[in-house]
Amino acid sequence: MTFIDGHVHTPYCPHGTAAPMEEYVKAAERKGIKVLVFTEHAPLPDGFTDPVPEKDSAMKRKDVAAYLAEGARLRKEYAGRVDVRCGFEVDYIEGFEEETLRFLEEYPEAAAHSILSVHFVKTGTGWFCIDYSADSFAEKAGESSVEKLYEAYGRAMDKAAGRPFGELNPPVLGHINLIHKFRKRIRPETDPINWTGILEKAAANGYVLDFNYAGLRKPDYGETYPEPWMVAEAERLGLKLQTGSDAHAPEDVGRGYTR
């Protein structure tokens, strides 16, 4: 395993902590991590209303320039010590592909260091953030069924695996089975998602998988994303994995890597 943390948030994330970006770089240096990729949640596309109560899922558009500038400053400052890169965690939101592509076109350099993830799915009663809380997940599942939520997520992730943004598509596919985050508490009888199909599609499209350690810190999950059998399957398919902590605080940089 190389020493890379390819999935790191910053104070520009409204649901994270206020620690400055430099603190994350210092933590990486202390822990011997050679490559740190900032992947702040890209601003949500125009016309899409953040479905979480606090409306704090993503960074604000007005902060993008300052975020990228600080990333560039740290890249210079820490050259030869930590290879600092700056991209986004971009949401794949069905029906907002054009708006998302326009954003990627504005920041092609950052797009090359970005991750494509699915956090939002469309349900019968509107958009829903699948990883917000176990309570909201259970409540939403109660409105239709947990199978339906899984199916909606599986469809979106399958589309994301199809590399919908072409040349500007983020090269890394984020925590592919994030839908499992609350499964110790609520899960379908049988998982309706064709995970192998998604992995095959990701492999065919030249993706790298986010090997995300945040799942180990989640009480209702307790595994990496993807989970071990998917990792084995990914390796069989020739998919590369990139370690990422999904840190929203400096002390979480590289966390769990020793496992």
Point out which residues bind Zn ion (CB under 5 A): 89, 246
CB of 254 to Zn ion, least distance (A): 15
Nearer to Zn ion, 146 or 214 (CB): 214
Nearer to Zn ion, 134 or 237 (CB): 134
Kindly tell me the sign of the dihedral angle through the C-alpha atoms of 212, 10, 43, 72. Answer: negative
Contact 168, 111 (CB under 8 A): yes
Nearer to Zn ion, 33 or 146 (CB): 33
- Collapse the DSSP code of 35 into the 3-class scheme (helix H, G, I; strand E, B; otherwise coil) and give the result: strand
CB of 212 to Zn ion, least distance (A): 8
Q: Cα 141 from chain centroid?
A: 22
Extract the tokens encoding 111: 């797009």
CB of 214 to Zn ion, least distance (A): 7
Contact 179, 199 (CB under 8 A): no
Output the residue with the shortest Cβ distance to Zn ion: 246
Nearer to Zn ion, 11 or 146 (CB): 11
CB of 38 to Zn ion, least distance (A): 10
* Region at 9 (left for phi over 0; alpha for psi -120 to 50; beta for the rest): beta
